[in-house]
A = this chain, B = another copy of it.
Amino acid sequence: MSDPLQMHPDRLLPAEPATRNLARQLYQAIKDLPIISPHGHTDAQWFASNDSFTDATALFITPDHYVFRMLYSQGITLEQLGIGSQEGAAAAADPREIWRLFSENYTLFQGTPSRLWLDHVFAEVFGMQVRLDGNSSDTYFDTINAKLSSDEFRPRALFERFNIELLATTESPLDALEHHASIIDSDWQGRVITTYRPDPVVDPDYDGFKDNLIEFGQLTGEDTSSWRGYLNAHRTRREYFKRHGATATDHGHPTAGTENLDAQQAEKLFQRVIAGDHSPSDAEQFRGQMLTEMAAMSLDDDLVMQLHPGSYRNHNQSLYERFGRDKGADIPRQTEYVQALKPLLDKYGNEPGLSIILFTLDETAYSRELAPLAGHYPSLLLGPAWWFHDSPEGMRRFRQQTTETAGFYNTAGFNDDTRAFLSIPARHDVARRIDCGYLAELVTEHRLTETEAAEIAVDLTNNLARKAYRL
């Protein structure tokens, strides 16, 4: 027999009873506010085509690197999980058997946010009443698949059921945005917008960078072998993204490094880079210079910049060679911001029209660098706890280490940052609960009044994201 599955109404709220009461009141008042998801990685095609999702395994396991990295860490191979290698020989595993392997190892996720998100989806979206384990595996698989094939579980229906006000996806400059166009042209009212993520044409180390630049030129009619033409291509494409709803750009760099080269130096660097004749430090410098160029363009077109630095991508070399990118082997590294951002900030840091949202995978920067920077520069805001730190503990650390110096109003609300569409309500719910718990603690310590806390809770849930992302 499997254990009962129950999402307790007080989950994640502080244990101390008076504080929990306060937190519960704060949470009750904001729990039904719409979801604003200004940064994430869902697939616009889902909402364009509105086709049903395939099955439980394809929905929950194969695409979720949080899930399969944990299974992999305990000796389960990617082949066993049906994750295809690049060598062509597609994994032939049976979805039901993969689901069983996951179910039997579900205890590995105890104490992790994945377990919170998954249980929430299982209970609230699919109505499951027992815990996932080996015994309940088949019931889960059959129940989920049956529901997925119904109209109520098509992407647009779920979007509406989830009360999503806005959902941003992230696309390469080379993306035609046909799905966004199709959504705009449809009679469906859901707001699914794109985000300009230029890494494939900005990072000299990106797979196929050289070919990407050629395609970038073809798409925009610019000569992307010249520095001027290359920059114009960005301007053109940013405008195209804006017409498909974009209000922001996103930059996923190894470091937070920026540069402030003069036009001649930049041109020479660009020529080395496109010739493939560049050193690792040239590549780093080029990425850094492009952040400053993007800031300049943002001053013209009002797109908000997001900077996501600090991940060592594809750390597991043999896995990368066999299975490609995004296989759960991205590992955070120490990230320096104070020196790194100075060239960009020297040039544009005081511009009232510029808005840069900073993220980190290095939590030591919260109190030491990020809150002091955002608590001074008018152009800087802090994005929420990100990726590995998008957990109850990580969210608490974020508030406890940034509020003292940056306050609440130099932060940008919550991001779910996910490709797991069904987990979006679960993720926002966790953030709302943690924020309400934090605010309740400030009230219990007599640092805020209840009235103030209630107002801040609404701001953290909706208003800060709307303002930061210019929605």
Task: Give chain B residues whose Cβ lies under 8 Å from the Cβ of A19.
Answer: 15
Q: How far is the CB of A96 from chain B (nearest CB, A)?
A: 24
Whether, in the assembled complex, A167 has its beta carbon less than 8 Å from a beta carbon of chain B, the answer is no
Q: Which of A33-41, A83-91, A104-112, A152-160 contacts B (4 or more CB under 8 A)?
A: A104-112
Could you say which interface size class chain A belongs to?
Answer: 35 or more
**Complexed CA–CA distance, A275 and B372 (Å):** 36
Q: Is the CB of A409 within 8 A of B108?
A: yes
Q: Is the CB of A403 within 8 A of B352?
A: no
Q: Is the CB of A376 within 8 A of B445?
A: no
Contact of A112 among B3, B338, B339, B403 (CB under 8 A): B403
Q: A393-B404, A404-B111, A410-B73 are in contact. Are A372 and B331 (CB under 8 A)?
A: yes
Q: A333-B369, A368-B332, A400-B393 are in contact. Are A108 and B407 (CB under 8 A)?
A: yes
User: Please, what's the 1-or-0 string for A432-471, where 1 marks a CB less than 8 Å from any CB in chain B?
Assistant: 0000000001101111110110001000000000000000
Q: Is the CB of A74 within 8 A of B409?
A: yes
Within 8 A of B (CB), among A322-374: 328-334, 336, 338-339, 342, 345-346, 349-350, 352, 361-364, 367-369, 371-374
Whether, in the assembled complex, A162 has its beta carbon less than 8 Å from a beta carbon of chain B, the answer is no
Q: Is the CB of B403 within 8 A of A447?
A: no
Contact of A404 among B10, B107, B394 (CB under 8 A): B394
**Complexed CA–CA distance, A408 and B70 (Å):** 11
Q: Is the CB of A404 within 8 A of B346?
A: no
Contact of A74 among B334, B410, B451 (CB under 8 A): B410
Count of this chain's copies in the oligomeric assembly: 3
Q: Is the CB of A112 within 8 A of B405?
A: yes
Within 8 A of B (CB), among A377-423: 377-378, 380, 388-389, 391-394, 400-401, 403-410
Task: Give chain B residues whose Cβ lies under 8 Å from the Cβ of A447.
Answer: 11-12, 111, 115-116, 392
Task: Give chain B residues whose Cβ lies under 8 Å from the Cβ of A8.
Answer: 446
**Complexed CA–CA distance, A377 and B72 (Å):** 7
Interface-centre pick from A3, A73, A315, A329 (highest chain B CB count, 10 A): A73
Q: Is the CB of B12 within 8 A of A446?
A: yes
Q: Can you name 24 A-B residue pairings with CB atoms under 8 Å?
A: A3-B449, A14-B15, A70-B407, A72-B378, A73-B375, A74-B410, A75-B352, A108-B407, A108-B409, A109-B407, A110-B448, A111-B407, A111-B442, A112-B407, A315-B342, A317-B346, A331-B338, A332-B338, A332-B368, A332-B372, A334-B336, A334-B364, A367-B394, A391-B404
Beyond contacts A7-B446, A109-B407, A112-B405: 12 other A-B pairs, Cβ-Cβ < 8 A, are A8-B446, A74-B409, A75-B352, A107-B452, A110-B456, A319-B350, A331-B338, A331-B369, A361-B368, A362-B364, A363-B364, A367-B389
